[in-house]
A and B are shown apart, each in its own frame.
Chain A
Amino acid sequence: MIWAKEETLSRKEIQEIQLYRLKEQVAWAYERVACYRAKMDAIGIRPEHIRSLADLKNLPMTTKQDFKENYPFGLFAVDRKQLQRIHASSGTTGKPTVVGYTPEDMKNWTECVSRIACMGGAQPGEMAQICFGYGMFTGALGLHAGLENIGATVAPTSSGNTKKQIMFMQDLKTTLLVATPSYALHIGEVIRSMGLDPAKDLNVKIGLFGGEGMTEGMRQEMYNLWGPDFKATQNYGMSELNGPGMSGECLELCGMHINEDHFIAEVIDPDTGEVLPEGVHGELVVTCLTKKALPMIRYRTMDITRLFYEPCKCGRTTARMENLSGRTDDMLIIRGVNVFPTQIEEVLLKMEEIGPHYQIELERVDHLDRMEIKVELADDSLLDSYSALEALEKKIRSGLRTMLGLDAAIKIVAPGALPRFEGKAKRVIDHRKSMGLNC
């Protein structure tokens, strides 16, 4: 089912909408947000200089750093009292990235997510179980609203407590699952270990996956666990672009359809900033066309992909972006949570009991991410007893939990035991990559 007529417009019609909205949006941002105005003034470009879509490339880009410098509300174009909702995601350091929505933004966001749900095979009447963590992250509430909007029944089971998830899945006769792909694999494995066959004993036919990339290997594993007819698609978004809903896979599985009446996608060379042609890999840069509370002009996503414009067999004519093939920065995705190593460093450097060197090791056990952080003991006085060392481990764990919302295993090692680097430090060892997992 195709949710909106905007998904099947001709290229010319799409571009007309895009140009009209782009002009409006650039003027909106220029007039109301000091950061945009300053950047545009600095290179002598004004809203009236945007006469065609080709002029987009002349606009300055926006980055995560802009969020940091304007925390929490500096990039907003409306008064705080006009916001209906606030969400937040990881920042590169202590302060998160705060985003907000006017009632109109909420409507547009919901609309975009509804389309993505339908791309993945959802229909009115689905029994949808949302296993994303609810809270400040956009994933759960975004899918929640989009699915309600198409006429699905939503069970907000949130993440964790796998046995209970499975109980609900059986008792509610869940037909659609929202989760990170790795958590869906974990649930599938637990179901199998209980002697059940998801394809025969359950009603789950559709999986809408996000929060982290799903490789083709993971998709194959998904079919092995959930059955060959399971509809396993992934979708893309980030809080800076509302949340989920920027793009999603249709059942043809040939890239993620972009909601082009709300977003313009470009791919750039991350080093030069030059816009790259269709089909060439580079960093995705997104301009939001309808966001009123928090306009986003040429936001650098740091995600690597490429774009295709030919119409899809599914009937949609919107541009598609290939499944992500990496990042241009060092951001990690751990259990669906975006983590910057600088956030971890900030917590560790505050602790005087340990040295400044550390190592982050990531692996996937039973389809779930596991993070271990090695730190060097610096405070000799803790050698009085094992309980003092255990208390230190606990303190580090708790500091990281506050910062990241994630649990890490802490391993205290002897002073000097961790590698030293003369050039760029390589403090992250990601074993998930060597397992062929896209992270």
Chain B
Amino acid sequence: MKQLSIFVENKVGSLGQVTGALKEAGINLRAVASFDSPVYGILRIIVDQPEKARTLLHEKQFAVKMTDVLAVELQDEPGALDGVFSCLTEAGISINYIYSFVLREQADPLMVLHVSDMEKAAGALSQAGITVVRD
């Protein structure tokens, strides 16, 4: 799955500039993550049209990077996320960051992960019976 990382300054309205641009172009946000930081932040988003969003944001002078991330489907039950983590720990893969989807219509929760070895992680998770979502 493709993720966009966007450089945002820590000031009023900077996130809104990104979401405003996406709204105008009719691009739908599926997941969003940003953590508190003193001066600037990296806003990470997943959208329905990543290529279009990247071109658009570039045109509007944002610093944007497209990255591959893993999206894994979780059963809505205790221990589901723990299963994912145990699987990755056993495979010796470290997690750089993790966040969850905003909402999915009638579907199971989805977690987005960026890890040290993407391919190996996808393999290990599939083998453990955890669904890795492509799009």
Contacts and interface: CB of A to CB of B under 8 A. Distances in A.
Contacts of B63: 377-380, 383, 414-415
Interface in A356-404: 377-386, 389
A-side binding surface: helix, strand, loop or mixed? Answer: mixed
A244 to B, nearest CB: 39
Contacts of B5: 383-384
B54 to A, nearest CB: 9
Given A415-B63, A416-B61, A383 B37 contact: no
Contacts of A417: 9
A384 B67 contact: yes
A384 B42 CA distance: 9
B62 A414 contact: yes
B39 interface: yes
Given A383-B42, A389-B40, A414 B65 contact: no
Interface string B40-73: 1010000000000000000001111101000000
Contacts of A416: 61
B7 A414 contact: yes
Contact of A383 (B7, B14, B96): B7
A380 B9 contact: no
A414 B42 contact: no
Contacts of A384: 5, 65, 67
A386 B42 contact: yes
Nearest to B60: A416
Contact of B7 (A377, A385, A411): A377
Given A377-B63, A378-B63, A383-B5, A411 B39 contact: yes
Interface string B19-49: 0000000000000000001011010000000
Contacts of B65: 380-384
Nearest to A377: B63
Interface residues of B, number: 17
A412 B63 CA distance: 12
A381 B5 CA distance: 9
Interface residues of A, number: 18
Q: By CB atoms of chain B within 10 A, which of A382, A383, A385, A413 has the most?
A: A383
Contacts, number: 46
B121 interface: no
Contacts of A414: 7-9, 14, 40, 61-63
B6 interface: yes
A345 B61 CA distance: 22
Contacts of B42: 383, 385-386, 389
Contacts of B37: 386
A42 B128 CA distance: 86
Nearest to A410: B39
Contacts of A415: 7, 61-63
Nearest to B54: A380
Contacts of A377: 7, 63
A386 B44 CA distance: 12
A416 B59 CA distance: 11
Contacts of B96: 385
B64 A380 contact: yes
A417 B7 CA distance: 12
B70 to A, nearest CB: 15
Interface string B96-109: 10000000000000
The 4 nearest A-B residue pairs measured at CB: A416-B61, A383-B5, A383-B65, A380-B65
Interface of A: 377-386, 389, 411-417
21 contacts: A377-B63, A379-B63, A380-B63, A380-B64, A383-B5, A383-B6, A383-B42, A383-B64, A384-B67, A385-B96, A386-B42, A389-B40, A412-B7, A413-B40, A414-B8, A414-B9, A414-B14, A414-B61, A415-B61, A415-B63, A416-B61
